[in-house]
């Protein structure tokens, strides 16, 4: 409400109300002659502007006391909010007619159902589906994924269950995947992967957690042209521990502030001739410095090393989701290279598998800035793009076997260049142009995905 005060006598200031509204009269403003007051008030579901003429009363008046005020004056401030008890204070037992207490039982309902089925006269019945099921409290969650192709053995099938009732999350998975490949060395071959996994995730804070995974994997390869009578088999029991911290703040094309880090240790148990045995340590640290609202400096340092009877290999080069990809002449076709190796990226300006070894280091420096605010095309493609981002970058990497006494020129690579990022809504399109040396031609790369 609105009040006026007479301040001619500072020793006895009289404050007089001139309005009495339940919804409130807000943002009062005097007229230039001082005879009117305009204000806003909420009335009948909307805001309106009102004008009060002659706001000064000739004689001071008080608002009429409300029922609450009258009761408070009668009882006193200490008793105004008290409720007089009219029972003994004992809670009445629930009536069996109106309430029934039951122990909670998980009742599942589908969250996502996406299924497509088809039939081919050559391949037969085909289909693909994803079903996600959970209970009403979110304590249990199950994922069913299927990609039916020719037969169950050749299909991609996966089941994952998560128990999310406690602070520590538990999970279990079963899977069967089938992949066809072709290489110049072996021709056509088929890989079948099947096994299971146990998953534990324990959060420490909102931003950090510890993960532990136990993976049982069997890979069975059948060659169609090269030694078809001798399929290759490899079995692995892999244990992994990792610490994760993530405080990154995301923008339209990638993180713009905060940091992300990962430290992991993998150990593959020696189960015999068909099982690889190795221990691998990896780390990944990313820092984002927001220099202003639209300018960010990003730094990333990652690395790893593997030891044991069958150490893992790291193939460094290229970038993830590379559309016009280039590959080096290095042969990467064994089961160990396909499913137990690691492929660190990005190393822009280099081909896939450019550097390799049982240890590696990769550093990335980026300056991210606004490139084009608004880009619009006319006929025949009336397209409009907004907030196109630009990137200036430098990548440096090294890979080695064992621990060499000295590094040769074929063990490290430094590249630099610029790039453009466009958020298409369904994906982020990236264009990068990178140089290996001052005399080399730039390598232009198109890829999909967010910045690191």
pLDDT tens for residues 325-356? 999 888 788 888 889 999 999 999 999 999 99
Residue 75 backbone phi and psi in degrees, to 5: -90, -25
Residue 188 pLDDT class (50, 70, 90 cuts): confident
pLDDT tens for residues 359-378? 999 999 999 999 999 989 98
Q: How many CB atoms lie within 10 A of CB 379?
A: 5
Distance between CA atoms of residues 340 and 234, nearest Å: 11
Distance between CA atoms of residues 387 and 350, nearest Å: 28
Mean pLDDT check: name the lowest of 61-70, 103-112, 113-122. 61-70
Region 214-226: what's the mean pLDDT?
A: 88
Which pLDDT does position 289 carry in this prediction? 96
Which pLDDT does position 330 carry in this prediction? 81
**Residue 91 pLDDT greater than 90, yes or no:** no
SS3 of 216, please?
strand
Choose between 5 and 178: higher pLDDT: 178
Which pLDDT does position 74 carry in this prediction? 73
Scored b (16 or more CB within 10 A) or e, 90-128 reads: eeeeeeeeeeeeeeeeeeeeeeeeeeeeeeeeeeeeeeb
Residue 320 pLDDT class (50, 70, 90 cuts): very high
What residues have CB less than 8 Å from 179, skipping those under 6 apart? Answer: 190, 191, 193
Mean pLDDT check: name the lowest of 2-11, 130-139, 262-271. 2-11
CA atoms within 13 A on the CB side of 436: 14
Which pLDDT does position 366 carry in this prediction? 97
Distance between CA atoms of residues 308 and 312, nearest Å: 9
**Residue 391 pLDDT greater than 90, yes or no:** yes
Distance between CA atoms of residues 412 and 421, nearest Å: 27
Residue 97 pLDDT class (50, 70, 90 cuts): low
The CATH 2.40.160.50 portion of the chain extends over 247-452
Distance between CA atoms of residues 2 and 15, nearest Å: 10
Region 105-121: what's the mean pLDDT?
A: 87
Residues 447 and 352 sit within 8 Å (Cβ to Cβ):
no
Which pLDDT does position 94 carry in this prediction? 65
pLDDT tens for residues 190-213? 899 999 999 999 999 999 999 999
Which pLDDT does position 229 carry in this prediction? 57
Distance between CA atoms of residues 100 and 79, nearest Å: 37
Which pLDDT does position 196 carry in this prediction? 97
Which pLDDT does position 368 carry in this prediction? 96
Nearest CA-CA partner of 137 in 169, 163, 174: 163
Residues 267 and 239 sit within 8 Å (Cβ to Cβ):
yes
Which pLDDT does position 174 carry in this prediction? 97
Distance between CA atoms of residues 305 and 242, nearest Å: 15
Which pLDDT does position 325 carry in this prediction? 92
Backbone conformation region of residue 67, classed left if phi is above 0, alpha if psi is from -120 to 50, else beta: alpha
Q: Which two tokens stand for residue 247?
A: 């405080």
Distance between CA atoms of residues 369 and 347, nearest Å: 20
**Residue 214 pLDDT greater than 80, yes or no:** yes
Distances (CA, A) of 107 to 133, 137, 139, 246: 10, 9, 10, 34
Instruction: Report the percentage of the chain scoring pLDDT > 70.
Output: 87
Query: With a threshold of 0.85, does the pTM exceed it?
Result: no
Residue with tokens 């007619």: 97
DSSP count for the chain of H helices, then E strands: 2, 24
Mean pLDDT check: name the lowest of 11-20, 269-278, 388-397. 11-20
**Residue 420 pLDDT greater than 80, yes or no:** yes
Instruction: Report the percentage of the chain scoring pLDDT > 90.
Output: 53
Q: What is the CATH number of domain 247-452?
A: 2.40.160.50
Which pLDDT does position 96 carry in this prediction? 64
Residue with tokens 């340092």: 301
How big is the chain, counted in residues?
A: 452
Residue 250 pLDDT class (50, 70, 90 cuts): very high
Q: Which two tokens stand for residue 277?
A: 């045995």
Instruction: Identify each DSSP E strand in 164-231 by its residue range.
Output: 169-183, 187-203, 208-223
Mean pLDDT over each residue of the chain, to the nearest integer: 87
Residue 337 backbone phi and psi in degrees, to 5: -70, -35
Which pLDDT does position 358 carry in this prediction? 94
Which pLDDT does position 111 carry in this prediction? 93
Which pLDDT does position 349 carry in this prediction? 92
CA 50 to chain centre: 50
pLDDT tens for residues 7-49? 777 677 777 777 777 677 788 888 888 788 888 888 877 888 8
Which pLDDT does position 77 carry in this prediction? 57
SS3 of 372, please?
strand
């Amino acid at each position: 409400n609105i009040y006026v005060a007479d301040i001619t006598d500072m020793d006895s200031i009289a404050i007089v109300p001139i309005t009495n509204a339940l919804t409130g009269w807000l943002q009062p403003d005097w007229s230039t002659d001082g005879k009117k007051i305009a204000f806003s008030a909420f009335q009948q579901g909307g805001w309106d502007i009102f004008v009060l003429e002659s706001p000064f009363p000739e004689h001071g008046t008080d608002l009429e006391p409300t029922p609450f005020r009258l009761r408070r004056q009668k009882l006193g401030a200490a008793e105004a909010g008290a409720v007089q008890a009219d029972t003994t204070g004992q809670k009445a037992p629930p009536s069996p007619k109106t309430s029934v207490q039951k122990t909670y039982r998980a009742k599942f309902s589908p969250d996502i159902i996406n299924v497509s089925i088809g039939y081919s006269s050559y391949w037969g019945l085909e289909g693909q589906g994803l079903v996600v099921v959970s209970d009403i409290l979110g304590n249990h969650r199950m994922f069913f994924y299927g990609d039916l192709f020719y037969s169950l053995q050749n299909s991609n099938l996966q089941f994952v269950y998560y128990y999310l009732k406690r602070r520590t999350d538990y999970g279990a998975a079963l899977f069967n995947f089938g992949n066809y490949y072709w290489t110049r060395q072996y021709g056509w071959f088929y890989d079948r992967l099947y096994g299971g996994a146990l998953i534990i995730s324990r959060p420490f804070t909102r931003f950090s957690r510890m993960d532990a995974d136990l993976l049982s994997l069997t890979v069975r390869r059948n060659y169609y042209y090269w030694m078809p009578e001798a399929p290759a088999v490899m079995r692995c029991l892999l244990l992994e521990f990792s610490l994760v911290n993530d405080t990154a703040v995301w923008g339209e094309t990638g993180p713009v502030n905060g940091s992300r880090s990962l430290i992991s240790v993998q150990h593959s148990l020696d189960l015999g001739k068909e099982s690889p045995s190795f221990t691998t340590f990896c780390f990944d640290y990313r820092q984002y410095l927001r220099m202003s609202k639209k300018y960010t400096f990003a730094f990333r340092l990652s690395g790893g090393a593997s030891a044991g009877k069958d150490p893992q290999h790291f193939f460094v080069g290229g970038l993830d989701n590379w559309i016009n990809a280039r590959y080096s002449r290095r042969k990467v076709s064994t089961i160990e290279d396909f499913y137990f190796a690691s492929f660190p990226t990005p190393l822009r300006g280099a081909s896939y598998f450019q550097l390799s070894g049982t240890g590696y280091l990769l550093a990335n420096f980026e300056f991210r800035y606004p490139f084009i605010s608004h880009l619009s095309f006319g006929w025949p493609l009336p397209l409009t793009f907004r907030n196109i981002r630009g990137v200036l970058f430098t990548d440096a990497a090294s890979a080695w076997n064992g621990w060499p006494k000295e590094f040769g020129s074929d063990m490290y690579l430094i590249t630099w260049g610029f790039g453009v990022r466009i958020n298409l809504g369904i994906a982020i399109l990236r264009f990068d142009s990178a140089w290996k040396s001052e005399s080399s031609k730039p390598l232009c790369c198109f890829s999909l995905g967010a910045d690191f």
